[in-house]
Amino acid sequence: MDARVITVTSGKGGVGKTTTTANLAAAFAMLGRQVCCIDADIGLRNLDLILGLESRIVYDIVDVVEGRCKPRQALIRHKYLPELYLIPAAQTRDKTSVSPTQMAQVVRELRPDFHFILIDSPAGIERGFRNAIAPADEVLIVTNPEVSAVRDADRIVGLLEADTRRLPMRLVINRVKADMVRRGEMLSADDIIDILSISLIGIIPDDENVLIAGNKGTPDPNSKAGQAFRNIARRLMGEEVPFVELEDSSNILSKIRRIFGG
């Protein structure tokens, strides 16, 4: 195996990077792929909590970098998804505890053991972001249909375009409310792609089950959001999965409107 290394980033905080990382990792695992998540948000770790692995942490990424353990010793295996592993961030250190070169080195050692390595980037465009993209083969940029999130995503696109490695990047639009888009009160996926001019990999509906899954520490693959994340995983694996238009299945009016070409 030689893992594909995918970094999940956004610029703005709170748009769903950790949710995206956790759900994609779960989807890959359920599709039978060996997957490792790395939490690069040193000082503000959360991926462990979302994956329900917070009580199993022995070593973290800073322990690996500082030589207290091997990368493989820091891997925490998921309770229910045996293909899924996590290397947690350190909680009591800061972003400068790790350098981009060190991150790349850790990931290089893990590559042979996995199909996918997902790196959960911290918010911002400083050291933590640099650390997170250093080992990447490709980048997923998460945004929301909000002006601030789209603007920050554009900043990330600009920074990655200026990077000599020319990493492929694709857009995840998270927390879309179909009824608001229909009323013209929320930027649509088309609007956002128009503005950012990068290719789309998935649209995730706003779904309260994401919060509920977080409460429990188990990603929910059967929720609407979970299914949309699985579609992203399948697209990343090269499958052609059509983009389904988001809609409330209960809303018969929207169906009538579509019949009349609206």
Partner 1 sequence: MVNLLERILGRSAKGSSATAKQRLQLVLVTDRSNLSPEKLQQMKDEIIGVISKYVNISPDKVAINVEQRERDNWLVADIPLLRELMQQEQGDVDDA
Binding residues vs partner 1 (CB under 8 A): 145, 147, 150-151, 154-155, 157-158, 161, 181-188, 191, 194-195, 197-198, 253, 256-257, 260-262
Query: Least Å distance between CB 161 and partner 1?
Result: 7
For residue 84, the minimal CB distance to partner 1 (Å) is 35
CB of 146 to partner 1, least distance (A): 8
If phi over 0 gives left and psi between -120 and 50 gives alpha, with beta otherwise, what is residue 150? alpha
Of the two residues 21 and 143, which places its CB atom closer to partner 1 in the complex?
143
Provide the sign of the torsion angle of the four alpha carbons 57, 30, 117, 230, taken in this order: negative
Q: Least distance in Å: CB of 194 to partner 1?
A: 7
CB nearer partner 1, residue 133 or residue 153: 153
What one-character-per-residue DSSP string does the chain give? ---EEEEEE-SSTTSSHHHHHHHHHHHHHHTT--EEEEE--TTS--HHHHTT-GGG-S--HHHHHTTSS-HHHH-EE-SS-TTEEEEPPPSSS-GGGS-HHHHHHHHHHHGGG-SEEEEEPPSSSSHHHHHHHTT-SEEEEEE-SSHHHHHHHHHHHHHHHHSTT---EEEEEEEE-HHHHHTT-S--HHHHHHHH--EEEEEEE--HHHHHHHHHTS--TTSHHHHHHHHHHHHHTT-----PPP--TT-HHHHHHHHTT-
The residue (of 87 and 181) whose beta carbon lies closer to partner 1 is 181
Smallest gap from residue 188 Cβ to partner 1 (A): 7
Nearer to partner 1, 44 or 159 (CB): 159
What's the closest the beta carbon of residue 173 comes to partner 1, in angstroms? 13
CB of 169 to partner 1, least distance (A): 11
Closer of 92 and 199 to partner 1 (Cβ):
199
Taking the least distance from each CB to partner 1, the nearer of 76 and 181 is 181
Q: CB-wise, 166 or 242, nearer to partner 1?
A: 166
